[in-house]
Structures are given as structure tokens and as C-alpha cells.
Structure 1
Amino acid sequence: MRDADEPVVGYVSFAAWESQAETNAPISADDLGASGASHGDVLMKLARAAIRERLHIEHSTDADSTASILAANPWLNESGACFVTLTEGGRLRGCIGSLVAYQPLGKDVIAHAVDAATRDPRFKPVTAAEYPLLNIEVSVLGEPKAITIKTRDGQERPVRSRTELEAALRPGKDGLILADHRGCSATFLPQVWDELSDPHDFVSHLLAKARIRPSYDWNDDEIDCQRYEVTAYAEH
């Protein structure tokens, strides 16, 4: 697995830069769920403001700046991990995020919004002319946890095989991280279930993303499997 301070390039590959670890307890998907739209509106507004500032597009008011949004919402100072996904005309335009909380959630949103717009290696940087055409989604991640199953004697243990993994997955709910012992790893957000609804296909495509043979089968703990949940907020 990669270090906690390594942001991830959306649905496909990894990118990274460093940040000093924070001492605050992480803000999780569960923490945000009860607040719903108000938190989501702030997160999306912050992501949009970050991109606007990077593209040197003027704010309509001072309250629309990233600094003002952070100052008005102290909960953004709590540690948190997120993905920022950009689409244009229904097509992916950029997606970068963190799997593990390592900095304040507000800083995480700002950094990943800018990186999704300008540093996703799959796309050219977003231009000022494209900015009004972008739709933004912010996904706040829960903590990744090992995927386990119960044994016949009632004990829990990590899944050891592809068959056990696919049986344990919860389509539409689980984000999945796969990693082998050679350093190959990749993740899919839960939103990918919309395109890959079958667990076998989901795992096959994620293996390919991690540069592991899609048909690869294992029975000996060779692949580390973790899942996480997200609370996603999207512009409409």
C-alpha cells in the first residue's frame, strides 16, 4: 500500500505530494451524513472556488473566495480525505483524491480540486473557457478497512482469495482498494459500480488498473483487500 499522504488519481492511477500530518481526529463520511446538503454545498463551493482561483477567474464577491469559505466553516479544519471529480458534458474531465486523511478536509478539497483540473495525467489542464461547463462532485471517504469474512467457528479473518473477495463485496456501497506485495495498487470509488455492477467485472477492471492481470486468481493472501464508504455530493 502507499503512504497515507499520497493523493490518488481518480478512477485509474496514483499521483502524490507531501503534507504535514494533522493532530485533529479525521472527519468521516458518517460525520457529514447527518448534515447533508449544507455540508455538501460548502464542499462543492470550496472546490469550485479553488479551481476558479487557479484559473485566475474573478470572484463575484469576497465571500466566494477559498479563504472566506474556510473562515466561515471551522469544521473544514478537521482532518479528512476526499476525492474531487470533474465532468464536462457527462464525461470525466479529472479526478484526484486521498484514500486516508492526512490534512484538514478543507485543504484536501482545495488541493484535489486544483489537481483534478490541472494535474490529472489523463487530460489536458482545464481552461478558463471550460470552467462554466464543469460539474463538480466531492466524495468524502470513510477510513479504509480490511475486508473480512466469518469462519465456521464464528471468528473473523481477512478474505484470502478472489472468490471470497467477490462474495464479500457490497455493490453500490463499497469503494475497493487492491494491492499486491510488489507495490502495485489501485482503487475504485463506489460510484464505479454504476458502470461495473458485477463484482467479478469490478474486480477484473480494478486489477487491470493496478497493472495486474484482470483474470488473476489467488487463494493465498497475495492480494491485500480493503474497502471504504463515501458520502458524495454532486452539482446538478
Structure 2
Amino acid sequence: MLNNEHRRYLLDLARRSIAYGLSHHTPLPVDLANLPPELRRLAACFVTLEKDGDLRGCVGMLQAERPLAEDVADNAYAAAFADHRFAPLAADELDRLDIHISILGEPSAMAVASQQELIAQLRPGVDGLILQEGGRRATFLPSVWESLPDPRQFVERLQQKGGWPRDYWSPQFKAYRYETEQFP
């Protein structure tokens, strides 16, 4: 868990990276040397952008591959300019953005043999979910429970997001759950 000062720093870093990206077309470089260990540790995060209450971009990593501060800066930039669902952010949108950061805990494999078992094991409002089969993978953050509170709908919509039919299941399907630290 991060303290409030670290959270404020990361939210400010995300906004500065987006502003930097408007003029430099690249994420803000992060100087890790003077940051506390909590912000230098390897961590995976998602940065979600909302404008006027609507999703405006969301990009992240499922596995920790770089220091948290770098992950936040890079994912904020990507959410603003490289989320394929949206046009790149325009300068006049920056002040209207709400920024949310979700730091992912370690995913854990779920032992499930059917869609029904998966649905029964989910903890609404707590679990993020990764579904994977072969080279295809999709995830929903725990915050998605706010708009999809029914576990069956949560799973079916995630399957659709991943390109599978809503009622699809195969023996090769893998499911992983994770929790997040989300702020603000």
C-alpha cells in the first residue's frame, strides 16, 4: 500500500506525462534516482482516463516489468495517445481528465473446469480477472464491477472483449484473479 504522498506523486506524474506527450510525442522520462523505494519497485499498473465521467482511455500491464513510476508515466501516455478505441487526446481535453491508477497484485491461477465454476468463485468488487487461451488474453480490473455487478455478465463481457463467444469454455481456458490498489 502506498501512502497519500506517493499516490499524489503518481497521479501528478501521470498528468505530467500526458502533458509532456502533447508536445514531445513520447512519455515523460522518469528520473528514478531520487524516488523512494516504493516508487522504484517493479510493479504492474493500469492508468484509466475519464473525461466528463466517460472512459477516455485505459492502458496497462498485467506483469511487473519496470519500476512503478516508469509504468505509470508510460501507461498514462499510452492511455492518452495509443488506446486504439479512442482518437489521440487533444490539448483542450487535458484539464477535463480524471486520472485513476490501479496497481495490480500478483495474479493467482483459479482452479475452474467450467464457466459456472468460474462465476461461483469470483468475488464481486474485489477480483480483477484475466482469461487466457493460447495467445489470446483479456482482463477486467476490479473497478469494472461498478458497471457490471453481476458475476455472469462480468465473465460474459470479458469473454466478448477477448473475442470469445459469451458462453464459450474449453479445457485450455485459464483464469487468474488479482486485486488492485486503486486511487483516487
Q: TM-score, normalising length from structure 2?
A: 0.91
- 1:232 maps onto 2:182 in alignment: yes
8 Å Cα contact 1:78-1:104 kept in structure 2: yes
- Partner residue in 2 for 1:209: 161
The equivalent residue for 2:78 is: 115
Alignment partner, residue 86 of structure 1: 49
8 Å CA contact 1:80, 1:101 repeated in 2:
yes
Alpha-carbon distance in structure 2 between the residues aligned to 1:48 and 1:177: 27
The CA distance in 2 between the partners of 1:70 and 1:119, in whole Å, is: 28
- 5+ residue gaps, structure 2, are none
SS of aligned partner of 1:179: strand
Q: How does 1:111-190 map to 2 (within 5 A)?
A: 111-147=74-110, 158-181=111-134, 183-190=135-142
SS of residue in 1 equivalent to 2:23: coil
> One-letter code of the match for 2:116?
T
The Cα of 1:38 is off from its aligned counterpart by 2.2
CA positional deviation for 1:159 = 1.2
Greater share of helix = 2
Quick check: 2:6–2:39 contact (8 Å CA) kept in 1?
no
The CA distance in 1 between the partners of 2:50 and 2:145, in whole Å, is 17
- Distance in 1 (alpha carbons) for counterparts of 2:127 and 2:45: 15
Any idea what SS the aligned residue of 2:98 has? strand
Residues 184, 212 of structure 1: 8 Å contact kept: no
Once the two structures are superposed, what CA deviation does each residue of 1:110-160 show, in whole Å capped at 9, x if it has no partner?
A: 10000000000111111111111111001100011101xxxxxxxxxx111
CA distance in 1, matches of 2:14, 2:32: 10
Distance across 2 between alignment mates of 1:67 and 1:121: 25
Output the aligned Cα RMSD.
1.9
* Number of corresponding residues: 181
Q: Which runs of 5+ in 1 are unaligned?
A: 1-31, 58-64, 148-157
Aligned to 2:147: 195
Q: Could you tell me how far apart the structure 1 residues matched to 2:122 and 2:114 are?
A: 13
| Rounded Cα–Cα distance in structure 1 between residues aligned with 2:74 and 2:164 | 29
Contact kept, 8 Å, 1:145 with 1:227, in 2: the verdict is: yes
CA distance in 2, matches of 1:47, 1:69: 15
Cα offset, 1:188, TM superposition: 0.3
TM-score, normalised via structure 1 length? 0.72
Larger radius of gyration between Structure 1 and Structure 2: 1
